[in-house]
Amino acid sequence: MLRQRAKDVSASEIRSREIQNLIEWMRDTMHDAPGVGLAAPQIGVSLRLAVIEDKPENLKEIPADYLKERERKPVPFHVLVNPKLALQGPAEVEFFEGCLSLAGFTAVVPRARKVRVECLDHQGAPKIIEASGWYARILQHEIDHLDGTVYIDRMRTRTFMSLDNHSRFWKNTSSADLRKLIGWEG
């Protein structure tokens, strides 16, 4: 399921009890994991549906310089249905990323710094999201899932490691220092 393009959801389906229950279940699953996003294919449902939330409490223990470099700020809970992603500008940033579908691992993934997403919300209403920084990364990651792509398809392979190794040796390393230590151009 993770390697297939998920199916579109009609506006009438979005408002159905079944999809509304799925959204709540996905929200609970994302919180329990814990994570900042979850796409329906990650739980075995082939629908173009994702939930996203980066709670303020997720950021409490993270050093301020780390948050600033990643442009990471809280993102309220919301739903993406049938999203269409457009990368904005040439700027690309590289940071460690993980995934609930590949638990226990992380790697550096290059992503666009800014994106624009056209989608439907949890009630089927059209929505446009313009995002930058970490929020743009979350959107790209979750929309990749809807297209059958996982972060390891995009990662800098020399940076792939266990979360334990990352926490021990790399957790607070800046992108510039990581680039020097790993020895890649970028």
How confident is the model over 13-57, as pLDDT tens digits? 999 999 999 999 999 999 999 999 999 999 999 999 999 999 999
Catalytic-role residue among 13, 94, 142, 185: 142
Cβ neighbour number for residue 93 with a 10 Å cutoff:
20
Q: Which residues constitute the domain of residue 72?
A: 11-98+110-153
CA angle 136, 164, 167 (to 5 degrees): 60
Q: Report if residue 79 sits inside a domain.
A: yes
pLDDT tier at 184, thresholds 50, 70, 90: low
Q: Is 181 helix (H, G, I), strand (E, B) or coil?
A: helix
Q: Report if residue 49 sits inside a domain.
A: yes
Q: Are 66 and 172 in contact (CB under 8 A)?
A: yes
Q: Is 71 part of the annotated catalytic residue set?
A: no
Q: Report if residue 45 sits inside a domain.
A: yes
Q: Report if residue 164 sits inside a domain.
A: no
Q: Report if residue 120 sits inside a domain.
A: yes
The CATH number of the domain where 39 resides is what? 3.90.45.10
Rounded to two decimals, what is the model's pTM?
0.94
What the block records as the tokens of 114 is: 């800014």
How confident is the model over 120-132, as pLDDT tens digits? 999 999 999 999 9
What the block records as the tokens of 180 is: 């020097």
Measured between alpha carbons, how far apart are the two ends of the chain, in Å? 32
Q: Report if residue 104 sits inside a domain.
A: no
Longest alpha-carbon distance in the chain? 52
Q: Report if residue 1 sits inside a domain.
A: no
- CA distances, 16 to each of 9, 83, 129, 141 (Å): 11, 19, 24, 26
- CA distances, 161 to each of 75, 97, 107, 135, 170 (Å): 27, 11, 6, 23, 10
Total domains, the chain: 1
pLDDT tier at 185, thresholds 50, 70, 90: low
What the block records as the tokens of 163 is: 């979360």
- CA distances, 80 to each of 20, 37, 122, 169, 183 (Å): 13, 10, 7, 35, 37
pLDDT score for 27: 98
Q: Report if residue 166 sits inside a domain.
A: no
| Mean pLDDT, the chain, whole residue set | 94
pLDDT tier at 100, thresholds 50, 70, 90: very high
